Each structure stands twice: as structure tokens, then as C-alpha cells.
């Protein structure tokens, strides 16, 4: 008999910046590293013979909770990647809510039928994952294996394997949630599903979000546009006068303009929200837009100036890993 633990990666930037990750390579957040520590403690007393992960940074970083303390080698396999979301890679969920709400709903709730240009279909991404899983299960008889992968592809294969006629049976899972399978005589058995008992409320990702609950409530997801002449009143209220050398984005929540983020190269010149939109987690999304812009221009770090170092911003920057005014934005272990 082969014992298999399937684990979703720790909290990554897309989870809190509210951007679709797919196969976009993103970094684990500081809170995600706390989740990794909790996962490490969970597996301290569990014997493991081999650890596999997708080749993306967020899974390899998470896998370190297990293979490093046990002195094992991490083996990567692209077949354990998240589903490719094609032209939706790294787009803000707010933009998808705004521009394509029906398919955005299907992405989370009807994955078997969801598709956009250049994306993988349900049958494609579940087939390549299951091919790799079958190979590992058969070649590790009598051993215990850990596979660190991604939320949507894990949900898809578990539904296909154990609940083909009940799409609601496999819910969206917490970051670092663990599913335990056994494999014997060519068949799999589900021992437990999506257990995240090692994650406390203080470090839970899903605990802070609404989209997965199925009760009709939604998160506050923003999208972004370039400024126009109509945005002068917004800029005046926020006290920011952009220069020609700045890359500026206006944030939009629903149909309401809420704030501004501006960069010059990789230097964050301004990040601000209107007062009525503060205190509900939107600043992190503005920071995510800044990271996306700087990264797309080839920068490896994001820098902040004194102009954006007001007390509320200091807490934000500390929470997302700025040290001495610098944040690495290239995914790293």
C-alpha cells in the first residue's frame, strides 16, 4: 500500500492581491510562511519517503516544510502545476467580475465547462495530474509520498476520482490543506479530504474571504485603469499630483473609483484610497497592482519613498515583507 498526502500551497500573492494566478509564478506571502511553519509542525511525526511538487515557486516553497527537515530531495513535475488560465493569467478578479462575470462565476463553480482563450480544459489538466499521480503511486509501493500542488487542479482530480456526480462534494480548500489517500491493487481510497486543522484562525486565508462560501456574498475585488481628465477631483482629494514620468493606475470597485497607485520605475510614489474605502483590505490590492507593473517592466524589487510612509501604509508594507524600504518581487524560496 502507498500512502499519499496531497497538499495545497501556502498563501501566495494572488490570494491576497486578488489576482488570478494559474501558472503565473508568484511568491508566498509572509502569512503564507506562517502557514508553512504550521504545516511543518503537523508533519514532524509523520514518516515521509518522497516529496514532489509542481515547478512553481509557491509549491516548492511550501514543500520545504516537509522535505527540508526530513533531509529529502524535492522532486518537481510540471504535471502537478495549477491549471493554465490562458489569457486570464494575473488578471485582477475585479476586472473579471466587471468584464466577464458569467465566466468568472463558472471558473469557481463550474470548472468542467469553464474555458477561455489558451486555457486548459478540465479534462486536460486533470488527465496530466492523474497520469503523474498514477506513476508515483505505482512506483512507491509500501512508501509514503507527499505531493504539493494547487487548489483548482487538486479540486478537479479529487472530484473526478471520488465524486464524479457531485461537484459540490469537494469544496475550495484552505491554503496548506491536506488530503490523505491510500493506493493498493491499482485503486485509490480517500482517507480524509482537505483537512486544515493545523491552520489557526489568525493565519487562515479563506477565513478572511467570502467568494468560496456559496452564500451569495462577495469579496471587494478591484480593477484598474489609466487616469483621464475626469480623475482630477479624485487626485486632488487624495493630494497627489502625478508627473509625466509616473505610471499611474486608478482603482475601481464595481463602478466607483476608489484610489490611486503610482510608480516611477520600481519606486512606489503613491498609494492611497478614498477614506470611505479604507479598512476593508483594498490597500493590499493596490500594492498587488504595483508589484504587477514593476515586475512586467523587468524589475526584481519594489521600493518605497517617504511620501508613502504614513502609519497605515507602514503596517501594509511590513505585512508584505518590505525590509528597509525594499520588497523582492521575483518569486523566491
Measured between alpha carbons, how far is 2 from 48 in angstroms, rounded to an integer?
11
Residue 211's pLDDT band (cuts 50, 70, 90): low
Q: How far apart are CA 187 and CA 164, in angstroms?
A: 16
Confidence of residue 309 (pLDDT cuts 50, 70, 90): low
Q: Closest Cα to residue 219, out of 284, 272, 168?
A: 284
Asked if residue 212 has pLDDT above 60, the reply is no
Chain mean position to CA 49: 28
DSSP 185: T
Q: How far apart are CA 240 and CA 286, in angstroms?
A: 15
Q: 295 Cβ partners below 8 Å, 6+ apart? A: 329, 330
Q: Which domains does the chain have, with CATH numbers?
A: 2-208 (3.40.50.1240), 222-328 (3.40.630.30)
Q: Could you tell me the three cell numbers for 281?
A: 483590505
The answer to whether residue 51 scores a pLDDT higher than 90 is yes
Residue 225: pLDDT band by 50, 70, 90 thresholds? very high
User: Of 58, 99, 23, which is closest to residue 331 (Cα–Cα)?
Assistant: 58
* pLDDT at position 215: 58
Q: Which of 284, 266, 251 is nearest to 325 (CA)?
A: 266
What are 271's strand-pairing partners?
261
Band of the pLDDT at 318, cuts 50, 70, 90? confident
pLDDT higher than 90, residue 127: yes
Q: Which residues are CB-contacts of 38 (< 8 A; sequence separation ≥ 6)? A: 176, 198, 199, 200, 203
E-only strand ranges, the chain: 2-8, 50-53, 74-76, 144-149, 178-184, 187-195, 222-225, 247-253, 256-264, 267-273, 301-304, 326-328
Span 223-237, average pLDDT? 97
Phi, psi of 141 (to 5 degrees): -55, 130
The residue that leads in pLDDT, 309 or 300, is 300
**pLDDT value for 119:** 98
8 A C-beta contact, residue 250 and residue 224:
yes
Distances (CA, A) of 315 to 205, 220, 283: 18, 20, 11
Contact 108/212 with Cβ under 8 angstroms?
yes
pLDDT tens-digit readout, 81-114: 999 999 999 999 999 999 999 999 999 889 999 9
Contact in structure between 89 and 24 (CB atoms under 8 Å): yes
Total-model pTM: 0.94
What number of residues does the chain have? 333
Which strands, in side-by-side order, build the sheet including 50-53? 74-76, 50-53, 144-149, 2-8, 178-184, 187-195
Instruction: Quote the longest CA-to-CA distance of the chain.
Output: 70
Cell numbers at residue 224, please? 484598474
Give residue 219's pLDDT.
Answer: 80
Q: Are 210 and 217 in contact (CB under 8 A)?
A: yes
Return the C-alpha cell found at 119.
486555457
Residue 207's pLDDT band (cuts 50, 70, 90): confident
| pLDDT at residue 194, as a whole number | 98
pLDDT of the residue at 108: 86
User: What's the Cα-to-Cα distance from 229 to each of 24, 87, 238, 324, rounded to whole Å?
Assistant: 34, 30, 15, 36
pLDDT digits (tens, 9 = 90+) for 152-196: 999 999 999 999 988 889 988 999 999 999 999 999 999 999 999
Kindly state the average pLDDT of the residues 45-49: 98
Average pLDDT score over the chain: 94
- pLDDT-based confidence at 210, cuts 50/70/90? low
Q: How far apart are CA 92 and CA 80, in angstroms?
A: 24
Amino acid at each position: 500500500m502507498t500512502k499519499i498526502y496531497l497538499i495545497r500551497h501556502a498563501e501566495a500573492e494572488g490570494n491576497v492581491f486578488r489576482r488570478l494566478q494559474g501558472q503565473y509564478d508568484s511568491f508566498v506571502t509572509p502569512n503564507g510562511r506562517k502557514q508553512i511553519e504550521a504545516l511543518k509542525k503537523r508533519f514532524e511525526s509523520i514518516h515521509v519517503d518522497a516529496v514532489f511538487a509542481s515547478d512553481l515557486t509557491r509549491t516548492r516553497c511550501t514543500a520545504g516544510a516537509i522535505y527540508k527537515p526530513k533531509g529529502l530531495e524535492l522532486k518537481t513535475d510540471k504535471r502537478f502545476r495549477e491549471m493554465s488560465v490562458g489569457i486570464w493569467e494575473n488578471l485582477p478578479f475585479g476586472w473579471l467580475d466587471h468584464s466577464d462575470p458569467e465566466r468568472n462565476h463558472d471558473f469557481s463553480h463550474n470548472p468542467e465547462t469553464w474555458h477561455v482563450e489558451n486555457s486548459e480544459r478540465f479534462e486536460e489538466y486533470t488527465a496530466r495530474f492523474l497520469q503523474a499521480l498514477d506513476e508515483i503511486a505505482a512506483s512507491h509501493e509500501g512508501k509514503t509520498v507527499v505531493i504539493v500542488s494547487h487548489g483548482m487542479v487538486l479540486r478537479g482530480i479529487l472530484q473526478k476520482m471520488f465524486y464524479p456526480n457531485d461537484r459540490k462534494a469537494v469544496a475550495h480548500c484552505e491554503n496548506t490543506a491536506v488530503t490523505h489517500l491510500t493506493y493498493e491493487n491499482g485503486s485509490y481510497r480517500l482517507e480524509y479530504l482537505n483537512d486544515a486543522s493545523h491552520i489557526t484562525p489568525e493565519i487562515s486565508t479563506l477565513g478572511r474571504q467570502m467568494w468560496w462560501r456559496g452564500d451569495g456574498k462577495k469579496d471587494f475585488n478591484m480593477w484598474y485603469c489609466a487616469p483621464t481628465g475626469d480623475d482630477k477631483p479624485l487626485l486632488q482629494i487624495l493630494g497627489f499630483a502625478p508627473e509625466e514620468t509616473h505610471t499611474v493606475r486608478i482603482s475601481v470597485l464595481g463602478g466607483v473609483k476608489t484610489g490611486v497607485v503610482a510608480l516611477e520605475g520600481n519606486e512606489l510614489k503613491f498609494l492611497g484610497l478614498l477614506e470611505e474605502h479604507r479598512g476593508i483590505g483594498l490597500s493590499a490590492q493596490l500594492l498587488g497592482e504595483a508589484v504587477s507593473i514593476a515586475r512586467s517592466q523587468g524589475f526584481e524589487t519594489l521600493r518605497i519613498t517617504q511620501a508613502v510612509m504614513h502609519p497605515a501604509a507602514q503596517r501594509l508594507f511590513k505585512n508584505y515583507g518590505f525590509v528597509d524600504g525594499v520588497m523582492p518581487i521575483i518569486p523566491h524560496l
